[in-house]
Amino acid sequence: MTKTALLIIDMINDFNFDAGEALADHTMKIIDPILQLKKNFNEKGLPVIYINDHYNLWQADFEKIMDFCCNKKSEEIINKISPEKDKDYFLIKPKHSAFYGTALNTLLQQLDVDTLILTGIAGNICVLFTANDAYMREYNLMIPEDCIASNNDEDNQYALTMMKNVLSAETKPAKELDL
Q: pLDDT (tens digit, 0 to 9) for every residue of the chain, 179 residues total?
A: 579 999 999 999 999 999 999 999 999 999 999 999 999 999 999 999 999 998 888 888 899 999 999 999 999 999 999 999 889 999 999 999 999 999 999 999 999 999 999 999 999 999 999 999 999 999 999 999 999 999 999 999 999 999 999 999 999 999 998 87
- Residue (of 114, 131, 136) closest to 169 by Cα position: 131
Determine the length of the chain: 179
- Residue (of 151, 175, 152, 148) closest to 160 by Cα position: 148
pLDDT of residue 1: 52
Main-chain phi, psi angles of 53, to 5 degrees: -60, 155
Cis peptide before 122 (omega within 30 of 0): yes
Helix (H) or strand (E) holding 115: strand 115-121
This prediction's pTM: 0.96
In tens, the pLDDT along 15-60 reads 999 999 999 999 999 999 999 999 999 999 999 999 999 888 888 8
Q: What percent of the chain has pLDDT over 70?
A: 99
